Amino acid sequence: MKTPILEVRDVRKQYAAHTALDGVSLVVPEGSIFGLLGPNGAGKTSLIRIITQITGADSGQVLFKGEPLNPSHIGRIGYLPEERGLYKKMKVGEQLLYLAQLKGIPKEEARVKIKSWLERFDIKGWAEKNIEDLSKGMQQKIQFIATVVHDPELVILDEPFSGFDPINANLLKDEILAMRDRGTSIIFSTHRMESVEEMCDHIALINRSRKVLDGPVREVRDAYRTQTYEVEGKGRPMLVHPDFEVVRHQERENGHFYDIVKLHAGATPNDLLRYLIGPAGVEVHAFREMVPSINDIFIRRVRETHPDYVPTEEEMAVKG
């Protein structure tokens, strides 16, 4: 197996009154998009600040490509914090140059890279503009360029889509996928789980300073499959069968129907489909597995581990 880009081993971080991270371990495979998910205050940002060497862990270890984290890695990581900002009175070009140089890129090389990024985002003409003259969305683009201008091997994005309008959010999404395809590893941190689950290859769920669950998205989903299918069609399905159970039945106009059907152990979706078009005698318009969302999985997983779990206000907000 390839050395993972990042490995977090049993990291603990204690602040005066509360524990931010309580023995968290993660493996971020190289060249993938890794979703670090959890409600606000779960410990995501604390973990990221340890990875970016803004703070240190009380105990535990972080390995970057197998080496214990050290200052030489700073230039190989790009970080877009949740709380972002730029020097308002500085010109776009100067600002990017400054931030790239702080990452250890020589001035001339940085100039070339900035130029190509500005071209890629089609904003070449902005280099001489002051940041304060740009709209918020434009500033976000500059901020994103600042994050990736030094071609980091690992990019950490904390709530990347907050503050983006839908058009720019899509642009950003495409850029992130393109970066992944070029071999960059990406850590995505967000409390809005539904916003990134389709992009992530791997995820880790964090709740109350502990890791709750992690793995490749497909595996996680498979593990939490409920064997439930949505069926839409025309006719009057008479589903009385030992292998299936209708969870919900809804009649619609013109003899159409919408059912949610759960398979009993041993039955396959094909069995159900065969039954529908055969003995049940209906016309099937749609047949789809009801995949649990990461959000659902998160809540289920938390309930499993803490039966007395009462969601905090923030976690409720996530569900809502």
Interface with another protein (CB under 8 A): 16, 49, 52-56, 58, 74-75, 77, 79-81, 83-90, 98-99, 101-104, 143, 146-147
Write out the two tokens for 261.
């059907």
Are 188 and 200 within 8 A, CB to CB?
Answer: yes
3-state SS assignment for residue 82: coil
Distance of CA 175 to the CA centre of its chain: 15
Q: How far apart are CA 283 and CA 237, in angstroms?
A: 9
In the complex, the smallest distance separating the C-beta of residue 167 from another protein, rounded to whole angstroms, is 24
Sheet holding 283-289, edge to edge: 244-251, 256-263, 228-234, 283-289
In the complex, the smallest distance separating the C-beta of residue 24 from another protein, rounded to whole angstroms, is 17
In the complex, the smallest distance separating the C-beta of residue 205 from another protein, rounded to whole angstroms, is 24
Considering the complex, state which of residue 45 and residue 195 has its C-beta at the smaller distance from another protein.
Answer: 45
3-state SS assignment for residue 219: helix
Considering the complex, state which of residue 87 and residue 252 has its C-beta at the smaller distance from another protein.
Answer: 87
In the complex, the smallest distance separating the C-beta of residue 298 from another protein, rounded to whole angstroms, is 26
In the complex, the smallest distance separating the C-beta of residue 101 from another protein, rounded to whole angstroms, is 6
One-letter identity of residue 237: P
Per the listing, tokens 């969601």 go with 311
Q: How far apart are CA 28 and CA 128, in angstroms?
A: 38
Q: Which positions ≥6 away from 122 have C-beta within 8 Å?
A: none
Considering the complex, state which of residue 83 and residue 313 has its C-beta at the smaller distance from another protein.
Answer: 83
In the complex, the smallest distance separating the C-beta of residue 9 from another protein, rounded to whole angstroms, is 17
Beta strands in the chain (DSSP E): 6-14, 19-28, 33-37, 59-64, 67-68, 77-80, 154-158, 185-190, 202-207, 210-216, 228-234, 244-251, 256-263, 283-289
Please state whether 275 falls in left (phi above 0), alpha (psi between -120 and 50) or beta: alpha
Q: How far apart are CA 226 and CA 278, in angstroms?
A: 24
In the complex, the smallest distance separating the C-beta of residue 171 from another protein, rounded to whole angstroms, is 21
Considering the complex, state which of residue 46 and residue 195 has its C-beta at the smaller distance from another protein.
Answer: 46
3-state SS assignment for residue 132: helix
Considering the complex, state which of residue 157 and residue 193 has its C-beta at the smaller distance from another protein.
Answer: 157
Write out the two tokens for 287.
């047949």
Considering the complex, state which of residue 29 and residue 78 has its C-beta at the smaller distance from another protein.
Answer: 78
Considering the complex, state which of residue 89 and residue 182 has its C-beta at the smaller distance from another protein.
Answer: 89
The alpha carbons of the chain give a radius of gyration, in whole angstroms, of 24
Considering the complex, state which of residue 151 and residue 232 has its C-beta at the smaller distance from another protein.
Answer: 151
In the complex, the smallest distance separating the C-beta of residue 66 from another protein, rounded to whole angstroms, is 21
